[in-house]
A = this chain, B = another copy of it.
Amino acid sequence: MLTKKELIEYCRNARENYLPHFSIDCVVFGFHEGIMKVLLLQVKNEGEWYLPGGFMLKKEPIEKAANRILKERTGLDKIFLQQFHVFGDPERSKAHFEMYKDMLPASQNWFTNRFLTIGYYALVDFIYANPTRDVLSVSCTWRDLHDLPELKLDHALILKTALDTLRLQLNYQPIGYNLMPKEFTMPELQKLYETILDKKLDRRNFQRRMLGFGILNRSEQPRKGGAHKAPYLYSFNQENYQAALKEGFKGGW
């Protein structure tokens, strides 16, 4: 929670620079070897947990704003963020309203405004994404999806909606280009899908369906070393992968 002096300064700056009534919140999912995490901030004084979010500059395109906000709040740069939903419940920022309403009159008070928030999500490998906290936060960290703290405002709903969107998306679009090594085995790719869906999949069905999408190239050489029969190695076929991102999988309609 900001002090009155900090609040006055923050509100003056916000009114001058940001488009009112709008915020952006980012759900960044991190994956590595069967573990799925999400990037969260714990803010100073309050100690509460939030998704990394912020406000849009008055003339800023929204995609740019999403990337700038994520960078300012977490240090993560050049992340592919995808817009997924606007959250527009008039009561969604009520907690902030209550927190700040007595400190400044409404006409000067940024936080007593109604805010609609645009949700963006991204998928990264958390081994290569080291977040840094900003001045408003005591920590910025990857939290295991199975061990989440309570989230402030409607951020639990935003996170759940992002996860539902991602899981639905597995049915019609490829995923994993920036999460898998250049070459990978079918069980390694299956592990990624199982992690996102949080359930076991049948090995044969997975392989048959995945090959049917036509987005994989099989390497001539199986992986070297190991006592057992060496598994085939696959890589993404860039052309088909990009086409499927746009038009959905072939084998669709």
Pick the most buried of A59, A193, A252: most chain B CB atoms within 10 A of its CB. A252
Contact with B along A160-172 (1 / 0, CB 8 A): 0000000110111
**Is A86 an interface residue, CB under 8 A from the partner?**
yes
Residues of chain B within 8 A (CB-CB) of A63 are: 88
Copies in the complex: 2
In the complex, what distance in Å separates the CA atom of A173 from the CA atom of B58?
37
**What does DSSP make chain A's interface, helix, strand, loop or mixed?**
loop
Query: In the complex the two chains form, is A61's CB within 8 Å of B83's CB?
Result: no
Contact with B along A222-253 (1 / 0, CB 8 A): 00000000000000000000000001110011
Q: Which of the four size classes fits the interface of chain A?
A: 35 or more
Chain B nearest CB from A48 CB (Å) reads: 25
**Is A21 an interface residue, CB under 8 A from the partner?**
yes
In the complex, what distance in Å separates the CA atom of A19 from the CA atom of B253?
41
In the complex, what distance in Å separates the CA atom of A60 from the CA atom of B249?
38
Residues of chain B within 8 A (CB-CB) of A201 are: 253
Q: List 27 A-B contacts (CB under 8 A).
A: A19-B116, A20-B20, A20-B21, A21-B21, A22-B116, A56-B88, A58-B114, A59-B114, A61-B88, A62-B86, A62-B88, A62-B116, A63-B88, A65-B88, A83-B85, A86-B86, A86-B118, A88-B118, A167-B248, A168-B172, A168-B173, A168-B248, A170-B252, A171-B248, A171-B249, A171-B252, A201-B253
